[in-house]
Amino acid sequence: MIIRTEKPKDFQAIRQLNEAAFKGSVEADLIENIRQSDYYQPGLSLVAEAEDGLIVGYIMFSEISLETENKNRFILGLAPLAVLPEFQKQRIGSRLMEEGIRLSREKAYPAIAVLGHADYYPRFGFISSEAFNIPAPFDVPAEYYMLLELYDASLENLQGIIHYPEAFSTKV
């Protein structure tokens, strides 16, 4: 199993993987919308490729805006993270998360935001966005909208409001 950046030749397999993992096309459509936007970060869209070449996992990080009193700052939004159903519970999602976080730190983003399972993402250091005085930009329980500081105190003095680009209008 290797974790690598996505390539255009992977796009159809990534679409099929997301449709299988999420039982529909919403997330697959979201990926395509983000790829066509200025917020797409090709180096932060990763696949898990099995030894036989099958794409079994996928994660995408793209830019979103944190609007503070003094300035806007780009952070990353994580959406989606998917693993083919028959390959789940094998740490593939964890490996994608770990590599994505590592690469995000290398690119010096201050944080990653995610709307997701309150039992899964905290194992990677995510905590409720409210702990940083940054409200969820959606009407969801606080425990489901989380942030991960990518380096010590990277969100200090960056309290504000998160805005998702139009590309996310299908779903986050």
* More confident site: 47 or 158: 47
Q: What pLDDT is recorded for position 70?
A: 84
Vertex 40: Cα angle to 169 and 120 (nearest 5): 70
- Mean pLDDT in residue range 19-43: 96
82, 19 Cβ separation under 8 angstroms = no
Structure-block tokens of residue 28: 């697959």
Phi, psi of 147 (to 5 degrees): -130, 150
d(Cα 42, Cα 105) in Å, to the nearest integer?
15
d(Cα 44, Cα 112) in Å, to the nearest integer?
12
Percentage of the chain with pLDDT > 70?
Answer: 98
d(Cα 34, Cα 31) in Å, to the nearest integer?
5
Q: What is the band of 172 on the pLDDT scale with cuts at 50, 70, 90?
A: very low
- Report which of 71, 80, 72 is spatially closest to residue 100, judged by C-alpha positions: 80
Q: What is the band of 170 on the pLDDT scale with cuts at 50, 70, 90?
A: low
154, 132 Cβ separation under 8 angstroms = no
- Mean pLDDT in residue range 6-11: 98
What domains sit in the chain, N to C, each tagged with a CATH number?
2-170 (3.40.630.30)
